């Protein structure tokens, strides 16, 4: 464990206790089974806001506590453990990071207080195909007399149906594949010309497809300077990848704990199955993967807080290593539980399904291996 401050330790313990008590996986299951189409339970989100979690990255002048990414990651890990549905990652981490890294004071003033008090849900609309490829952004932003007109499509937008605002990556110049010519816009979800459609993903969480048809925004909607959005977008994405890795670590750790518990209690052939060496060795290998990915996630979170130069490498490392752990862990969760693991009544399926959605978010392992190699100069 990274050396935590007293405050961080308090928040971590608080998050662990609260999530288990107030937002356990059974709550998520109830939400899923209610078929109301709700993205999350309003009272769950309200409680998180009241505990100050939505303002952890935001400076005090906008109502936040500015405690940093490690603290935020500690909470996300706990949410990941219980598959708690909430816009904490998408809005309080990704949305807030976008405003903090790319926004001017007026934009920050306009939206950050809302992000902190939970009234604004600001999420990133980036992917346009079945792959995460930021430089392939094609959605057009045509310059008009007083601003821009946006046309194109976005998909796999997290909290896309419940968002009040989007950070939209759009092309103000060049063609898909060019690293130049990408700009970021803040667009209200209610803007004329946006049609959003729920994506019924396997994990029963809120993902949406957005279509933009001549959506008019004025010049003040541009985050940062037009046409040079990719470098800052990468900074936002790295924070997103690291935060998501923290959540994934929680999901994998819970799956590990469930599996270990089962190994110690399930009996076959007159013995506890954990006494079989074939299973004990798999548990040992998974534990090792868990510990190593935890090292990567914590190092990455701290690197962001410290303003380290190697955040991009650590972001890809964390997402990739924890991705490897979660992939194997979610499969073993089902396999080691056997028949019971295949039933919908048991939670294993929820973890497996969520694991694959998280893997595909913000670049899968193949994406980050490729990126890591590029960053290492080969």
Partner 1 sequence: MSVEFEASARAWVADNLPATLAGVRMDMYGVVSADQAVREAFDVWRARLAAQGWGAPTWPVEYGGAGLTDAQAKVVSRAITKAGSMNPIPFLSGMGVTMVGPTLLEYGTPQQKSRHLPGMASGEVRWCLGLSEPNAGSDLAALKTSAELDEEGWVLNGQKTWTSGADKSQWCGVLVRTDRNAAKRDGISFLMLEMDQPGIETRPIRLIAGESPFCETFFTHARARKDDLLGALNGGWSVIKRLLQHERQSQTSAPVSNTKAEPLQALAKRYLGVSADGTLADADLRSRLAEHLMDTAAHELTIARIMTDARGGNVEVTATASILKNSATDVAQNHSELLLEIMGSQGLGWEPGAYSEEELRTVREWLGGKAMSIYGGSYEVQKNIISKNILGLPETTQKG
Interface residues with partner 1 (CB under 8 A) are 1-3, 260, 263-264, 271-272, 274-277, 279-281, 283-285, 287-288, 291-296, 298-299, 313, 316-317, 320-321, 366, 369-370, 372-374, 376-378
Identify the CA nearest to 38 among candidates 121, 156, 161: 161
Q: At its nearest, how many Å lie between partner 1 and the CB of residue 256?
A: 9
Identify the CA nearest to 53 among candidates 2, 20, 98, 8: 8
Q: At its nearest, how many Å lie between partner 1 and the CB of residue 320?
A: 6
Q: Which is nearer to partner 1, 29 or 282 (CB)?
A: 282
Q: At its nearest, how many Å lie between partner 1 and the CB of residue 329?
A: 14
Q: How many C-beta atoms lie closer than 10 Å to residue 310's C-beta? A: 12
Q: At its nearest, how many Å lie between partner 1 and the CB of residue 295?
A: 4
Q: At its nearest, how many Å lie between partner 1 and the CB of residue 189?
A: 37
CA distance 306 to 376: 21
Residues 6+ apart with CB under 8 A from 123: 87, 90, 91, 94, 95, 157, 158, 159, 160, 163, 165, 166, 167
Q: Which is nearer to partner 1, 231 or 280 (CB)?
A: 280
Q: What is the DSSP string of 194-246?
A: EEEEEE--TT---EEEEEEEEEEEEGGGEESSTTBHHHHHHHHHHHHHHHHHH
Q: Which is nearer to partner 1, 3 or 106 (CB)?
A: 3
Q: Which is nearer to partner 1, 275 or 331 (CB)?
A: 275
10: tokens are 């308090």
| Runs of H (alpha helix) within the chain | 6-22, 25-34, 42-50, 69-82, 96-102, 105-117, 229-265, 277-306, 311-337, 339-342, 348-360, 365-375
CA distance 238 to 236: 5
Residues 6+ apart with CB under 8 A from 42: none
* Residues facing residue 209 across a β-bridge: 197
Q: Which is nearer to partner 1, 61 or 374 (CB)?
A: 374
Q: At its nearest, how many Å lie between partner 1 and the CB of residue 57?
A: 23
Q: Which is nearer to partner 1, 75 or 263 (CB)?
A: 263
Q: Give yes or no for a contact between 31 and 84, defined as CB atoms under 8 angstroms apart.
A: no
Q: Which is nearer to partner 1, 64 or 274 (CB)?
A: 274
Q: How far is CA 275 from CA 186, 197, 265, 298, 332, in A?
A: 56, 50, 10, 32, 17
CA distance 334 to 146: 56
Q: Which is nearer to partner 1, 20 or 271 (CB)?
A: 271
Q: At its nearest, how many Å lie between partner 1 and the CB of residue 272?
A: 5
Q: At its nearest, how many Å lie between partner 1 and the CB of residue 321?
A: 5
Q: At its nearest, how many Å lie between partner 1 and the CB of residue 187?
A: 34
Q: Which is nearer to partner 1, 288 or 343 (CB)?
A: 288
């Amino acid at each position: 464990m990274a050396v935590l401050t007293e405050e961080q330790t308090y928040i971590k313990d608080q998050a662990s206790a609260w999530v288990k008590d107030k937002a356990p996986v059974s709550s998520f299951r109830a939400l899923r089974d209610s078929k109301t189409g709700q993205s999350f339970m309003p009272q769950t989100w309200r409680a998180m806001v009241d505990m100050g979690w939505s303002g952890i990255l935001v400076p005090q002048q906008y109502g936040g506590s500015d405690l940093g990414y490690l603290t935020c990651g500690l909470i996300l890990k706990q949410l990941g453990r219980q598959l708690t549905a909430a816009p904490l990652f998408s809005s309080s981490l990704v949305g807030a990071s976008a405003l903090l890294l790319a926004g001017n004071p007026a934009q920050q003033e306009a939206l950050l207080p809302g992000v902190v008090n939970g009234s604004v849900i600001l999420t990133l609309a980036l992917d346009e195909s079945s792959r995460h490829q930021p430089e392939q952004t094609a959605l057009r932003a045509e310059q008009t007399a007083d601003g821009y007109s946006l046309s194109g499509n976005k998909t796999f937008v997290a909290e896309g149906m419940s968002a009040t605002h989007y950070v939209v990556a759009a092309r103000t110049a060049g063609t898909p594949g060019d690293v130049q010519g990408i700009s970021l816009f803040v667009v209200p979800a209610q803007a004329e010309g946006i049609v959003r459609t729920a994506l019924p993903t396997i994990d029963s969480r809120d993902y949406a497809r957005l279509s933009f048809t001549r959506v008019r925004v004025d010049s003040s909607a541009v985050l940062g300077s037009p046409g040079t959005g990719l470098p800052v977008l990468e900074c936002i994405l790295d924070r997103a990848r690291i935060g998501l890795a923290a959540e994934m670590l929680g999901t994998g750790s819970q799956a590990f704990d469930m599996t270990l518990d089962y190994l110690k209690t399930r009996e076959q052939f007159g013995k506890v199955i954990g006494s079989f060496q074939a299973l004990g060795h798999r548990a040992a290998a998974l534990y090792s993967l868990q510990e190593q990915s935890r090292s990567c996630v914590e190092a990455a979170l701290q690197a962001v807080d410290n303003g380290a130069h190697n955040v991009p490498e650590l972001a890809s490392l964390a997402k990739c290593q924890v991705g490897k752990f979660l992939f194997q862990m979610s499969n073993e969760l089902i396999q080691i539980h056997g028949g019971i693991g295949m039933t919908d009544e048991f939670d294993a399926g929820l973890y497996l399904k969520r694991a694959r959605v998280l893997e595909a978010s913000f670049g899968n392992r193949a994406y980050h291996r490729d990126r890591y190699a590029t960053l290492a100069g080969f």
